[in-house]
């Protein structure tokens, strides 16, 4: 993915932002990938605000959107919800949002 080659973003230490424990360390690579793709999608969104007829950018944005949706689905299936209030799926018979550390608490 050409848009996510920025070393500053790729080297951003999630460990300094999130409370890393043995329970959530396995989710950090996928969480990092989500952040990278989300950043690329946001940049494309901003670009398209000023270049609405750029079909290549629209195609690239749509690819980023599909990839982001898939990554978030994988994350929530393997780890815990990313968002609450109807934006995240609850897997299981208990309310996982209240059971696991919130994404900003990791």
Query: How far is C-alpha 83 from the geometric centre of its chain's CA atoms?
Result: 11
Residue 42: what pLDDT?
93
- Tell me, yes or no, whether 63 lies in a domain: yes
Give the residues of the chain that fall short of pLDDT 70.
1-24, 84-100, 102-103, 106
d(CA 1, CA 8): 16
Residue 21: what pLDDT?
53
The range of the structural domain enclosing residue 73 comes to 40-81
Residue 77: what pLDDT?
87
Residue 24: what pLDDT?
65
- Tell me, yes or no, whether 94 lies in a domain: no
- In this predicted model, what pLDDT tens digit does every residue of 87-100 receive, in sequence order? 665 566 655 666 66
- Tell me, yes or no, whether 9 lies in a domain: no
d(CA 4, CA 27): 19
The number of folded domains in the chain is 1
- Tell me, yes or no, whether 92 lies in a domain: no
The DSSP annotation for 36-61 comes to HHHHHHHHHHHHHHH-TT-HHHHHHH
């Amino acid at each position: 993915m050409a848009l996510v080659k920025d070393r500053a973003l790729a080297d951003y230490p999630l460990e300094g932002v999130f409370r890393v424990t043995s329970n959530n360390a396995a989710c950090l690579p996928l969480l990092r990938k989500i952040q990278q793709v989300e950043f690329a999608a946001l940049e494309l969104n901003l670009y398209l605000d000023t270049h609405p007829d750029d079909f290549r950018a629209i195609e690239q944005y749509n690819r980023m959107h599909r990839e982001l949706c898939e990554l978030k689905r994988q994350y929530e299936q393997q780890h815990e919800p990313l968002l609450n209030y109807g934006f995240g799926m609850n897997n299981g018979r208990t309310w996982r949002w209240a059971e696991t550390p919130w994404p900003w608490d990791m």
